Amino acid sequence: MASLGVRLDPIPYINFEDSIGLAQLAESLGYDMIWVPEGGGSDSITRLAAFAGATSTVRLGTGILPVFARTPGLTAMTALGMDIVSGSRFTLGLGVGHRGSAEGTHGVAFRRPMTRIRETVEVVRKLLQGERVNYEGKMFNVKDGSLGFGGECDVPIYIAALGPQMLELAGELADGVLLNWAAPAYLERALEHLDIGAARAGRDLDEIHVACYIRVAVTPDKNLVRTPLVQQILRYCGMEYYRNFFADTGFPDEAEAIGRYLAEGNRAAAARSVTDEMQGTLAVVGGMEHCRREIQRRRDLGIQMPVIAPFSAGGALNSYRAAIEALAPRDEE
């Protein structure tokens, strides 16, 4: 049976009680992993700890913890705690987040993101291996650091990556990579950069597990999903590196227009700039069999774990339940 994950978004998109039910549903239908992002005023760890208590087999991953919001020591302690609470079902997904959140919400300067995530991964891994850590880096200096437990904690570490440098870093350092917005034209280039990073560290590409968020809505009525999908695209286009990503994915004119209109405060014009082709490339929308074929298409391009990321089509809870049920793993896959 092919590996498949699901992303469960934070409050206010799904309330706490409903998210527990969806986690249990995903486990019962054979999903391998539940990924939880941070946002909406909710951290991912609290929700994953609740899922750990309500499930028994499905793996649980942060998708992602931003490294500017936490020190490596706190990140390692969190990973160890989640590994214990979940019965060794936890995966630590890390990413740089974005400047607005780091500097606005957390009051931390968004400096040298590549260096910060590299050093975070290196320190966290040493701490989880039970080492007493002395580490002198460009961002962190750890002296006689320890989690104070005996033995090793084998938590897989994934890096969220979009651009070439971060993809190569993931290939060099991480157990896995978490991609976003699974445009088919992008995936081949992404794997090439993963391979470059892996070769730099003397690794093979098959040593890096590739997961990717795929926006999905299982509905024959595409008009139901246009507005929520366009709003998601606009939200991401508010961040410069995602605008650049959409431009590199084949939509330079749309990305430029959306960015310009958003800067002017003209959200309606920005929404009109999201073309049907852009929507159809960045998300999978349609009936059950169409969605399953499109997910398989992306799997064939090198995604080992497609992670369905449902969005609202006539109500958030119903949309999540419909997608989880319709796209559940089948024995023949």
Is pLDDT of 265 > 90?
yes
Distances in Å between the Cα of 148 and the Cα atoms of 90, 145, 288, 292 are 20, 9, 49, 46
8-state DSSP, 103: I
pLDDT at 42: 80
pLDDT digits (tens, 9 = 90+) for 107-152: 999 999 999 999 999 999 999 999 999 999 999 999 999 999 878 8
Is pLDDT of 80 > 80?
yes
8-state DSSP, 101: I
- Residue ranges covered by each domain of the chain: 5-216+287-326, 220-286
Query: Which residues have CB under 8 Å from 168's CB, separation 6+?
Result: 193, 194, 196, 197, 200
Query: Which residues have CB under 8 Å from 158's CB, separation 6+?
Result: 61, 64, 91, 92, 93, 94, 170, 174, 175, 176, 177, 178, 209, 211
Query: Which residues have CB under 8 Å from 322's CB, separation 6+?
Result: 218, 219, 310, 313
pLDDT at 235: 92
Is pLDDT of 254 > 70?
yes
Q: Considering only CA atoms, which of 63, 1, 2, 59 is closest in space to residue 32? A: 59
Pick the CATH number of 5-216+287-326 from 3.90.470.10, 2.60.40.3080, 3.40.50.2300, 3.20.20.30: 3.20.20.30
Angle between helices 288-300 and 184-200 (to 10 degrees): 30
| CA atoms of 303 and 72, how far apart (whole Å) | 29
| CA atoms of 190 and 262, how far apart (whole Å) | 28
pLDDT digits (tens, 9 = 90+) for 190-244: 999 999 999 999 999 999 999 999 999 999 888 888 999 999 999 999 988 899 9
pLDDT at 288: 96
Q: How confident is the model at residue 11 (pLDDT cuts 50, 70, 90)?
A: low
pLDDT at 331: 76
pLDDT digits (tens, 9 = 90+) for 284-320: 999 999 999 999 999 999 999 999 999 876 668 889 9
Q: Is the C-alpha dihedral spanning 147, 151, 153, 157 positive or negative?
A: positive
Q: What percent of the chain has pLDDT over 70?
A: 97
8-state DSSP, 163: S
pLDDT at 166: 97
